[in-house]
Amino acid sequence: MVLVSFHVVCTTYADQKTADLVKAFESYVVSDAGQKAAADAAKSAPLSKALQDKALKSIESIKAKS
């Protein structure tokens, strides 16, 4: 059995506070600590370094409306 999980978030939020909260949460999810927590809870395999880097690049692009 394979467990596949993904998050879908907006790239732009109405305010900076919301954008920062989403970025913080998603950054934790893809971090080593977040991946360890997921592995401990669901016995899932961690993301590869390449996929972590790609996800972080996408997360960094999240912004607030200007």
Domain parsing of the chain, residue ranges: 12-64
Write the pLDDT tens digit of every residue in 5-44.
899 999 999 999 999 999 999 999 999 999 999 999 998 8
Q: Per-residue DSSP letters for 24-66?
A: HHHHHHHSHHHHHHHHHHH-PPPPPHHHHHHHHHHHHT-EE--
Collapsing DSSP to helix, strand or coil, 36 comes out as helix
Residue 66 pLDDT level (bands cut at 50, 70, 90): confident
Does 1 score more than 80 pLDDT?
A: no
